[in-house]
Amino acid sequence: MAVVIADPIEYRSYCLQYKEKGFSIGFVPTMGALHKGHLELVKRARRENDLCAVSIFVNPTQFDDQKDLNEYPDHFDDDLKKLESFDIDCVFAPYPSAMYPRDYNFRVTESQLSKKLCGQYRIGHFDGVLSVVLKLLNLSQADRAYFGEKDYQQYLLIKDMVEAFFLNTEIVPVGIIREESGLAMSSRNQRLSTNGLTKAARLYFHLNESVRNNSSAKEVIQNLLGEGFEVQYVEDFENRRFAAVFLEGVRLIDNVSL
């Protein structure tokens, strides 16, 4: 059974005692509502480290839309059950007030990549992500931290932040886990209807098709996806094609290699 810790300072002491014994620490940050995508990260962390810690924290500062935050799924007890079979050592589940004791007065700001792709539309989102990940990495003192390529822009930014601030953690990318339909697994998929879930798989299909046909135009992809979808952007960056769309009021993101 994993120990569950809410207090940041207690969590830091917990990690430190193992670090001092020479244990390697693998850390997986999540916002809960765990699915097979998250669990793939957990599997890797378990396999590659002596101690494996998972955080469950719905970080308020990374939500640019209050409604999205309010509607974010909360399945804490289920999440703990899911984690049981992975033999992890510790779950860190803090309260927002404990993670932000000085409100949000201190934050990490990035001025280049965080303004592109999703950052053009989600103002302040990546500052919130970077700020909370810096706190989590400082507390965990992890040798390795695991991030999904589903949020590829986030992975790149965290890798750059770790380098910029000389943090002693290796950032390990993990490939995208998909439903059989091709839909990238996401906690937000739970908010789609059965019909929406089927439709959502078109995003991955048509992103790949657009790469094959050499057409990245937003209008073309909007047409291919058909009714119900609102394409926010389709853009190529660092040998990948990124897209964000809305379906049934849910924002879906995906990316494919070019």
Residue 254 Cβ vs ligand AMP, minimum distance, rounded to whole Å: 9
What is the rounded CA–CA span in Å between residue 104 and residue 131?
Answer: 9
Distance CA 47, CA 24 (A): 11
Q: In the window 107-166, what residues touch ligand AMP (CB under 6 A)?
A: 147-148, 150-151
61 close to 68: Cβ distance less than 8 angstroms: no
Q: Are strands 240-247 and 229-237 parallel, antiparallel or unpaired?
A: antiparallel
Burial tier of 206 (Cβ tally within 10 Å: 0-12, 13-18, 19+)? buried
Catalytic residue among 38, 75, 125, 206: 38
Fill in the DSSP letter of residue 256: E
Q: What are the backbone angles phi and psi of residue 62, rounded to the nearest 5°?
A: -95, 0
27 touching ligand AMP, by CB under 6 A: no
Interface segment toward ligand AMP; rule CB under 6 A; list 78-86, 181-189, 201-209, 243-251:
181-189
Q: Identify whether 75 is a catalytic site residue.
A: no
**Are 181 and 198 a contacting pair, CB within 8 Å?**
yes
57 part of the interface to ligand AMP, by CB under 6 A: no
Q: Where are the alpha helices (DSSP H) in the chain?
A: 8-20, 36-48, 66-70, 76-84, 96-99, 125-140, 152-164, 194-200, 202-212, 218-225
Smallest separation, CB 188 to ligand AMP (Å): 8
Comparison of 145 and 225: residue with beta carbon closer to ligand AMP: 145
What residues pair up with 234 in beta bridges, in sequence order?
A: 243
Residues 186-245 that bind ligand AMP (CB under 6 A): 186-187
Q: Determine the 3-state secondary structure of 51 from DSSP.
A: strand
CB 15 within 8 A of CB 53: yes
* 176 part of the interface to ligand AMP, by CB under 6 A: yes
Identified binder of ligand AMP from the candidate list 93, 185, 197, 201, rule CB under 6 A: 185
16 versus 116: smaller Cβ distance to ligand AMP: 116
Member of 11, 15, 27, 30 binding ligand AMP (CB under 6 A):
30
Q: How far is the CB of 20 from ligand AMP (least distance, A)?
A: 28
Comparison of 16 and 60: residue with beta carbon closer to ligand AMP: 60
With binding defined as CB under 6 A, does residue 31 bind ligand AMP?
Answer: yes
**Residue 184 interacting with ligand AMP (CB under 6 A):** yes
* Residues engaged in binding ligand AMP (CB under 6 A): 30-31, 37-38, 40-41, 147-148, 150-151, 174, 176-177, 184-187
Q: Which residues are catalytic, by number?
A: 38
